[in-house]
Amino acid sequence: DVKVTQSSRYLVKRTGEKVFLECVQDMDHENMFWYRQDPGLGLRLIYFSYDVKMKEKGDIPEGYSVSREKKERFSLILESASTNQTSMYLCATKRQGSSYTFGSGTRLTVV
């Protein structure tokens, strides 16, 4: 089975801090995604990547950036964290023709 590992389950950061959320997969999946999940809003796509060094904006990219220097790792960066970025962040991976595999999520609180 594909394993998608998000480095932290819970994270508390201060307003204005630069925050890195890491996602690592142990299979050779081309596509990787970052979603945020908020009550009543479902999952919303922030960024995705279909290859190393490639990135595409999703539906809500403002305030975020991403990095994919290696195929197995996809990082989400909050350049200057704000309280409205308090949320659950979910990473997912996908090979062409297959289904998504999700990580367990990182619950980020910005105070």
Beta bridge mates, 102 = 92
Task: Check binding of 45 to another protein (CB under 8 A).
Answer: yes
Q: Are 34 and 78 in contact (CB under 8 A)?
A: no
Task: Check binding of 72 to another protein (CB under 8 A).
Answer: no
Task: Check binding of 48 to another protein (CB under 8 A).
Answer: yes
Q: Are 89 and 10 in contact (CB under 8 A)?
A: no
Task: Check binding of 109 to another protein (CB under 8 A).
Answer: no
Q: Is 27 helix (H, G, I), strand (E, B) or coil?
A: coil
> Contact residues for another protein (CB under 8 A)?
4, 9, 31, 33, 35, 40-45, 48, 50, 56, 58, 90, 92, 94, 96, 99-100, 102-105
